[in-house]
Structure 1
Amino acid sequence: MATFVIVHGAWGGSWAWNRDVVPRLRALGHEVYAPQLTGLGERSHLASPDISLETHITDVVNVLYYNDLTDVVLAGHSYGGMVITGVADRVPERLRRLVYMDAAVPADGQSIADLTPGRRQELIDRAQREGDGWRIPPGPMQNDDPAEIKEWAAPRRHGQPIKTFTDPIRLQRGETTLPRAFVYCAGGKEPGNPFTARARQVQADPRWSYYELPSGHNLHYSAPEETVRILVEQASRSGTRTPSP
């Protein structure tokens, strides 16, 4: 059995993954952690202007350290890709592989705002207008998210501390040598979507495993069974690239 650590995306929380994906993995006998990033979800009472990308990287590093986790399949969704990239740079010896689920894949010195061209000022303006100058209010959920999910999730979503979006990641080891997979969620993507551009790059790179789902961005809601299947498959693989299922 494998050990999974799943890092949620912006405005979200462990609650999003604990609804369907985590119980399914545990039912298969796997050990699963879905840490809550500081300032969001059940830790929203700790929100402050000082929370940064580095704060969230440290959140996950500490989950690995204090639970004595090794040989971990570390997965990140959306913004969570920024976090798992930083974790892999800090403690690669604790990890088996990385799974980017429609997620940011930054290079050293990049922020997630850098990976969404033209949106940096929009995010800053939204924080100024609606988030006390330091929080980005939650954006709309995906069109293919079921109505009952939207109703359930809405009160659980919180503003994202802006430094987590604008701070650049600092990688001491350069690009990771850990095996990596990318899951591209093709449904509902508009032209110029940054995850589409990344997916095309990954498809052409033999160092990556690549999967494509017809679901929207929130695959944990719209495709939980397929998400679990991919994670379990990745846990069983060596470092070689595999074709899309």
Structure 2
Amino acid sequence: MAVFVLVSGPFTGGWVWREVVTRLRETGAEAYGVTLSGMTDGGEPPAVAAADVDLERHVEDVVGVIDGIGADEEVVLVGHDYGIHPVLGAADRRPERCARVVYLDAGMPGDGDTPLALVPDASVAEHAGGAGGVVPAPSGGEWARWGSTAGLSAADLARLDRLAVPQPLRTLTEPLRLRGNPFDRPVTGVLCTANGSGIPMVEMLLAAGPPEFRVLAGPRVGFFELDTGHWPMLSAPGPLAEVLLRAAADEGRRMTVPDGTPSARTETFLLDVAERPRERRGTVDLHLPEAEGPWPAVLFVHGGPLSPDRRPTPRDSPTFLGYGAYLAGLGAVGATLDHRLYGLDAYPKAAEDVAAAVELVRADPRVDGERIALWFLSAGGLLAADWLAAPPPWLRCVALTYPLLAAPPDWRAVPERFRPVDAVGASSPPVVLTRAGLEHPVFQATVDAFLVAAGRAGAEVDLVDVPHAHHGFETSDHTDETRAAVARAARAVLARLTV
């Protein structure tokens, strides 16, 4: 039988695993719930001061547990939430001892990534320069800011409140250091669907995400779903223990990259675009035409969620550099921005960023503030809802390219407000919708629903079909068909700006 080493997320210790450990041991397996330095196993004061604890100390804690297990035992490391960082660090230092890593409702950090980049509660950054060296533990309704509390009873939440302790700040701000590839060993992902993850999300990443996600289709990578929230060790200890045993037995759903999915992205835009003057204004870039102004403007809105540490940021990527310069060459300001869509619950912050960017663009004296278009791509399409529901008079057009227009069922963290399928109506501005024929079914279903809703409402939709194109075709499908589609969509948008 495998030996399970269980490492939990922030604010908690080994106590959070007690029910899971009991169930695993009843099957004959060994299991250890780890209490990391600076944390506690039951609410008593931490034995180590928070100021002395960083991520490397937590990695050493897990290495110490591994070293205390018999050399002939197969060790399965389970990392929940933040816990995946010290787990990966320990697996990297003891690769010969680690039979498998289980990502339990956790992100996919790599070398140089900080845990803070994956923290869903953006307010944690406020503590980065504060005194005390800790992030205070949440309580009551605040737990939901760290992950869905679905499935937790009132007693479970009270237990979290009673036993949680502050998280040492340096455990979140220190970068993870890895020498090897985390996917060079067997890996299992356990996805908690009530927290917004699930098999459909993995399928979308494989079909439409960046190429780095192709590791999820590796032969030694399996997946399980649990129909519960972010704390399954409390809300579903029995099902979680069963899944962990099956993971150790190399079970789990294997994923594949869909046939015809581009194997790589290029570093160039699909059109040969002449370089144009570009001005940076905070989070917004303005690509400027050569002719005399005032000019109309098109603001491009990227999708996500993305890591805040991603480089290049969207506005410096080939897609948005290309779009911005292309629109400038056609006589309009091509504006691009980086917004804060860092998690599924971050759509309100991203919406604030889009609204602020619009005001910045309109306030520029070279821009005709009465002739503005917004162009949304991918999952940024959800941000179009506000503008479709209550369009200002200066918004002449909304463009949507391979968009997501309603949150998938397991994206429960997305507020209901962001549903373009419900927002589109007779008063909506004209819509230019570019539809990729080889789109992922989850995205495509929302586009179909949007077209039905727009038809019933009598909204104006100019549909640009690209039958042989994939999601993100600007840097993957450089064909005459995709080049013609981008040109047609741009002409359709500009036509609404020149009326």
The TM-score with structure 1 as length reference comes to 0.85
Q: Are positions 1:56 and 2:85 aligned together?
A: no
Return the alpha-carbon distance in structure 1 between the equivalents of residues 91 and 28 of structure 2. 25
Distance 1:47 1:155, change over 3 A: farther
Q: 1:28-107 to 2 correspondence within 5 Å?
A: 28-42=27-41, 44-69=46-71, 70-107=73-110
Aligned partner letter, 1:22? V
Return the alpha-carbon distance in structure 1 between the equivalents of residues 164 and 96 of structure 2. 33
Q: 1:223-234 to 2 correspondence within 5 Å?
A: 223-234=236-247
Cα deviations by residue, 1:73-121 (Å, 9 ceiling, x for unpaired): 11111111111111111101001111110013211100111234883xx
Return the alpha-carbon distance in structure 1 between the equivalents of residues 183 and 162 of structure 2. 37
SS of the residue corresponding to residue 227 of structure 1 reads: helix
Q: Are positions 1:154 and 2:192 aligned together?
A: no
Return the alpha-carbon distance in structure 1 between the equivalents of residues 240 and 190 of structure 2. 9
Q: 1:138-149 to 2 correspondence within 5 Å?
A: 138-139=137-138, 140-141=142-143, 142-149=149-156
Distance 1:40 1:200, change over 3 A: farther
Q: Alignment RMSD, CA only?
A: 2.6
Asked if the contact 2:224–2:253 (Cα under 8 Å) also holds between the matched residues in 1, the reply is no
Distance 1:172 1:231, change over 3 A: same
Return the alpha-carbon distance in structure 1 between the equivalents of residues 37 and 222 of structure 2. 30
SS of the residue corresponding to residue 144 of structure 1 reads: coil
Q: 1:146-185 to 2 correspondence within 5 Å?
A: 146-185=153-192
Cα deviations by residue, 1:123-146 (Å, 9 ceiling, x for unpaired): 1424666xx441001233325311
**How much does 1:47 deviate?**
2.6
Given candidates 222, 229, 244, the residue that maps to 1:216 is 229
Aligned residue pairs: how many?
232
Deviates more, 1:150-159 or 1:37-46: 37-46
Aligned partner letter, 1:76? G
Greater C-alpha Rg: 2
**Which of 1 and 2 has higher RCO (CA within 8 Å, sep 6+)?**
1
Aligned partner letter, 2:116? A
Identity fraction in percent: 32
Distance 1:59 1:199, change over 3 A: farther
Return the alpha-carbon distance in structure 2 between the equivalents of residues 65 and 167 of structure 1. 24
Asked if the contact 1:71–1:95 (Cα under 8 Å) also holds between the matched residues in 2, the reply is yes
Aligned partner letter, 1:13? G
Aligned partner letter, 2:51? P
SS of the residue corresponding to residue 23 of structure 2 reads: helix
Structure 1 runs not aligned, ≥5 long: none
Return the alpha-carbon distance in structure 2 between the equivalents of residues 94 and 33 of structure 1. 16
SS of the residue corresponding to residue 181 of structure 1 reads: strand
**How much does 1:186 deviate?**
1.5
**How much does 1:213 deviate?**
1.7
**How much does 1:242 deviate?**
3.0
Distance 1:127 1:26, change over 3 A: same
**How much does 1:41 deviate?**
1.2
Distance 1:199 1:92, change over 3 A: farther
**How much does 1:45 deviate?**
2.8
Deviates more, 1:210-219 or 1:198-207: 198-207
Distance 1:9 1:235, change over 3 A: same
Asked if the contact 1:215–1:222 (Cα under 8 Å) also holds between the matched residues in 2, the reply is yes
Cα deviations by residue, 1:164-216 (Å, 9 ceiling, x for unpaired): 11111011123441110111111144xxx8xx977854796222211122200
Aligned partner letter, 1:125? E
